[in-house]
Amino acid sequence: MGSAVVVSNLILWVVVVALGFTVLALARQVGVLYERIAPAGALMISAGPEVGDKAPEMELETLDGSVTRLGGTSETSRSTLVFFLSPTCPVCDTLLPVLRSLRRDEGAWLDIVLASDGELREQRAFRERKRLRDFPYIVSMQLGLTYQVGKLPFAVLIDETGMVGAKGLINNREHLESLFEAKERGVSSIQEYVAQQTDGDDDSRRSVA
């Protein structure tokens, strides 16, 4: 009877140890999977003002004839998302509903400004066709050159202190929201944040080892 109890205890401990190794292996695989499926943020472009730089202060006229101020400290503690688009950009077109949704969801702290360049008549026709009158719409080659916008859609997030909080090429809502995440976490891009977390985990594993 006693030997049977000893044997059963030994089997139980073997099972417990095996389960422990299984859990460790699964945890490692989860970490690898996290790195592979980490959120893809907006693609950073090195040209133009860098994240963390003071945004150039500019006063630009909209298609309505009003003046929109970009850069400088916000008197209302609001950030501004400048979204560069074009009437001939199909991806820009698909993101217009996303911009409307973001303005509704993030309107407590965020203003959204549309920016483009080119022939005014075409820009006005595009604005009317897409019902964009409720967005400030700037047509300015100077603005695009200032931020070195070479591909579209492109977005720059200027924070309430007048600094470039985040920027990058945008293809979907996740990319736009990654700009907000980067600003909130104080990094230049969500990719940088994931890399920092991964490096920290690696350092922790090495110190434990």
Residues 14-33 have pLDDT tens digits of 666 666 556 555 544 434 33
| Alpha-carbon distance values, 87 to 103, 118, 182 (Å) | 21, 10, 28
Confidence of residue 141 (pLDDT cuts 50, 70, 90): very high
Cβ 112 vs Cβ 99: under 8 Å = yes
- Burial classification of residue 29, based on how many CB atoms lie within 10 Å of its CB (0-12 exposed, 13-18 middle, 19 or more buried): exposed
What pTM value is reported for the model?
0.73
pLDDT number for residue 192:
61
Confidence of residue 81 (pLDDT cuts 50, 70, 90): very high
Taking the domains of the chain in order of start, what are their residue ranges? 2-37, 58-193
Tell me phi and psi for residue 13, to 5 degrees: -65, -40
- Superfamily the domain 58-193 falls into: Glutaredoxin (3.40.30.10)
Tell me the pLDDT tens digit for each residue of 32-49. Answer: 333 333 445 666 566 789
Tell me the pLDDT tens digit for each residue of 144-170. Answer: 999 999 999 999 999 999 999 999 999
d(CA 9, CA 158): 64
